[in-house]
């Protein structure tokens, strides 16, 4: 697990990059600049993907649905594996939500290990599925979309005037997508949104948050839009919910916090206490099913 201090450092760096609208990518001794794309550009990229997909299908390239159906007939794939992938994804999402609410370190670690186990199983099946679907119409459309994104967003100068060549942008692809992954990481983006340098300004301008950026509306970068959304969600919860003082410094816990339900029937509520009883009965060990039931 990433330590809290590491998360805070990553969040602060992400905040800087999101506010200024670009990230620095390094390839050897060279520096390149990833210009963050806008909400409008993101929508246009999705439109391009749909056009690329239609073009590929018209040219005779089979789509994933057709390829998988043929693979099932040839027993290279199965409907059961397709359903298993959906089930594993559902279980991962459910277990991740449960893990966020667990305070006990041992039980939390047990839940996270269950998530990792499900993830490993899903990765194996996903790799098998991808190999079957390689060179599908969707694959070609996605590759063209990625190429278009890189060519339009990677520059050679800090002023974002000189675009990198196709070869240069391709060489930066791994770092490029690592930055996108970082900006989409819940811990990183929530802590960036709650960083006092930004959150204080947002709180003063929450009715017109666009004044915090040069861009407005659909011209905001997709990461600026996300940053504003998280700051707004955190502020709303702080204003409308009695958040326990012990979690006030943790934006992820603030976002996940649910006020306790008061029951008058005298019955014991199921949840963390239920997990503790299950843990005790199993000698301190819990499996995935214990968290899902």
pTM of the model: 0.81
State CA 198 to chain mean position distance: 21
Q: Give me the sheet containing 154-155, strands edge to edge.
A: 22-27, 30-35, 154-155
Q: What is the pLDDT along the chain (293 residues), one digit of tens a residue?
A: 455 789 999 999 999 999 999 999 998 899 999 999 999 999 999 999 999 999 999 999 999 999 999 999 999 999 999 999 999 999 999 998 888 778 788 888 888 899 999 999 999 999 999 999 999 999 999 999 999 999 999 999 999 999 999 999 999 999 999 999 999 999 999 999 999 999 999 999 999 998 999 888 899 999 999 999 999 999 999 999 999 999 999 999 999 888 887 655 544 444 556 666 656 665 555 666 666 66
- What is the spatial distance between Cα 245 and Cα 242, in angstroms, rounded to a whole number? 9
For residue 281, the model assigns a pLDDT of: 62
Pull the structure tokens for residue 278: 């299950």
**Cβ neighbourhood burial of 29 (10 Å; 0-12, 13-18, 19+):** exposed
Distance separating alpha carbons of residues 135 and 64, to the nearest angstrom: 9
Which pLDDT score, from 0 to 100, does residue 146 have?
A: 96
């Amino acid at each position: 697990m990433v330590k809290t201090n590491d998360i805070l450092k990553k969040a602060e760096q992400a905040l800087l990059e999101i506010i200024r609208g670009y990230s620095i990518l390094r390839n050897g001794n060279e520096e390149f600049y990833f210009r963050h794309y806008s909400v409008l550009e993101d929508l246009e990229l999705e439109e391009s993907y749909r056009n690329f997909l239609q073009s590929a299908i018209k040219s005779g390239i089979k789509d994933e649905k057709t390829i998988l159906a043929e693979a099932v007939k040839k027993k290279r794939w199965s409907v059961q594996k397709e359903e298993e992938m959906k089930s594993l994804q559902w279980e991962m999402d459910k277990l991740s939500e449960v893990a966020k609410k667990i305070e006990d370190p041992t039980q939390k670690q047990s839940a996270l290990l269950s998530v990792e186990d499900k993830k490993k199983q899903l990765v194996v099946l996903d790799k098998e599925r991808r190999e079957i679907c390689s060179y599908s119409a969707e694959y070609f459309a996605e590759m063209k979309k990625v190429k278009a994104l890189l060519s339009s967003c990677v520059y050679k100068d800090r002023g974002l005037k000189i675009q990198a060549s196709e070869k240069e942008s391709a060489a930066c692809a791994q770092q490029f997508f690592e930055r996108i992954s970082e900006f989409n990481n819940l811990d990183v983006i929530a802590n960036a949104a709650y960083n006092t340098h930004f959150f204080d300004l947002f709180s003063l301008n929450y009715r017109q948050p666009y004044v915090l950026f040069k861009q407005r509306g659909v011209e905001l970068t997709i990461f600026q839009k996300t940053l504003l959304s998280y700051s707004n969600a955190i502020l709303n919860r702080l204003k409308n919910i009695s958040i326990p003082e012990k979690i006030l410094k943790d934006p992820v816990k603030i976002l996940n916090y649910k006020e306790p339900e008061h029951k008058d029937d005298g019955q014991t509520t199921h949840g963390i206490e239920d997990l503790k009883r299950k843990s005790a009965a199993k000698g301190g060990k819990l499996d995935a099913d214990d968290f899902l039931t």
